[in-house]
Structure 1
Amino acid sequence: MENKTPTPPKKPSNFWIDFGPLLVFFGAFQYFKRSQPEQAMLWAAGIFAVVAVIALLIGWLKYKHISKMLIFSTVIIVLTAALAIFSGNKTIFYMKPTVINILFGFAVIGGIFIKKNVIKIMMGEAIELPDARWDTLAMRWGLFFFAMAALNEYIWRTQSEDFWATFKVFGFLPITFIFTLTQIPFIQKHGKMRTE
């Protein structure tokens, strides 16, 4: 009798769970700025937080699994949105991407030194690399997160509120995607992508 190893279920595509709330945030901001330009960001932040929590619950109910990164991001969204709304200080919400990216940067680079490579944990099922190369890849991602934090700080401090809201939704994601693509030659040179 043939022994068959059960095939693990494929990981779900979480695009709408991850980025749906961002699109709702952008739509809400565009809607409210027409009638309440001074309060539009705070209204949009509140809606963003509510939708982020709903998306988290949908993800759990549908897939019975939620990434720790998504849980962490949702907690930060809710906290910064609540603080911004109750204090009336939009700066708190502007700094949310800064805080998240700095914490991710420290987590990724710190993981190298405690032998808990976060990037390997996240991507190890799809990529084969020697441990030393995993550390290099993690260092690159850590520095990228710090760069994204600095970019967010520059944008919200120097550009208009409307520009920041647009860039938050349609700028950070393409930059992250492009950075990911730039790492493929390194992976191909020192390892390989898993096909199974």
Structure 2
Amino acid sequence: MAEKKVNPILKLVLELGPIIAFFVGYGRLKEQVFTIGGVEYSGFIVATATFVPLFIFTTWLLYWLTGKVSRMQLMTLVLVVVFGGLTIWFNDERFFKMKPTMIYLLFAGMLGFGLLRGKSYLKLLMEELMPLRNEGWMILTKRMATFFFGLAVLNEVIWRTMSTDAWVNFKTFGLTAAVFLFFMTQSRVFQTYAVEEEDEASPSA
């Protein structure tokens, strides 16, 4: 299927929708306990059980609308299904809290592996969005690998030492804000190593 253009606002809604839905669902259900099949489930588990199929649906919808799903999106989908499924199956919220750690460690590991081979895997994923010279991609990839590793460590610290409410707020707003701020602070790299469009037309005589 060829890649198709989609309204950027709609794309953003589909990407962030499941996260916002989880936040809202948890906020409304966190004080409740649900008995299903003789087993008691907390509001966190029920919110997770809603988040997983919603994430699957929005990922499929993005593919249907655009004709393309990035490798990062697919890897995230797999980890959401695996860790969300373990959370529900074992009725243990710790699995879902570990999910961001695994996602960011995976991304950091992949970028780091590429760097060891002298390649920027980030360039393969984002070149169309941010055309940079190779030196720029290598710098950005090193920084992003370090950034992802830092997020993984931070997620572990927060979910292991703080309340579930604090972790949900961190997951919903903190991680998104951190990624946004990271790219904002890389403006010098984008400016210094940007690929300028060359005028291919021959000068008139």
Structure 1 residue aligned with 2:121: 118
The one of 129, 150, 153 equivalent to 1:150 is: 153
Output one character per residue of 1:150-177: Cα deviation in whole Å (capped at 9) or x when no partner. Answer: 1101110111101111111011101110
**1:104 offset after TM fit, Å?**
0.2
Checking the alignment, whether the CA contact within 8 Å between 1:18 and 1:70 is kept in structure 2 is: no
**1:9 offset after TM fit, Å?**
5.5
Structure 1 residue aligned with 2:31: 34
- Computed over aligned residues only, the root mean square deviation of the Cα atoms, in angstroms, reads 2.2
Quick one: structure 1 residues 169 and 60, their matched pair in 2 at CA, closer, same or farther if it must change by over 3 Å? same
Checking the alignment, whether the CA contact within 8 Å between 1:52 and 1:74 is kept in structure 2 is: yes
Structure 1 residue aligned with 2:194: 191
Report the secondary structure of 1:95's partner residue. Answer: helix
Tell me how far apart the structure 2 counterparts of residues 115 and 98 of structure 1 sit (CA, whole Å): 26
**1:192 offset after TM fit, Å?**
4.7
Matches within 5 A, 1:20-59: 20-36=17-33, 39-59=42-62
Give structure 1 stretches of 5+ with no counterpart.
1-7
Q: TM-score, normalised by structure 2?
A: 0.83
Give structure 2 stretches of 5+ with no counterpart.
35-40, 198-205
Quick one: structure 1 residues 50 and 193, their matched pair in 2 at CA, closer, same or farther if it must change by over 3 Å? farther
Quick one: structure 1 residues 10 and 86, their matched pair in 2 at CA, closer, same or farther if it must change by over 3 Å? closer
Structure 2 residue aligned with 1:17: 14
Aligned partner letter, 1:94: K
Aligned length: 188
Q: TM-score, normalised by structure 1?
A: 0.87
Quick one: structure 1 residues 121 and 49, their matched pair in 2 at CA, closer, same or farther if it must change by over 3 Å? same
Identity of aligned residues (%): 29
Bigger radius of gyration, 1 or 2? 2
Tell me how far apart the structure 2 counterparts of residues 193 and 175 of structure 1 sit (CA, whole Å): 28
Output one character per residue of 1:38-97: Cα deviation in whole Å (capped at 9) or x when no partner. Answer: 711111111110100110121122222212211211111111011111112211111000
Quick one: structure 1 residues 104 and 12, their matched pair in 2 at CA, closer, same or farther if it must change by over 3 Å? farther
The one of 177, 180, 197 equivalent to 1:177 is: 180
The farther-off stretch of 86-95 and 146-155 is 86-95
The farther-off stretch of 184-193 and 89-98 is 184-193
Quick one: structure 1 residues 39 and 73, their matched pair in 2 at CA, closer, same or farther if it must change by over 3 Å? same
The one of 70, 73, 84 equivalent to 1:81 is: 84
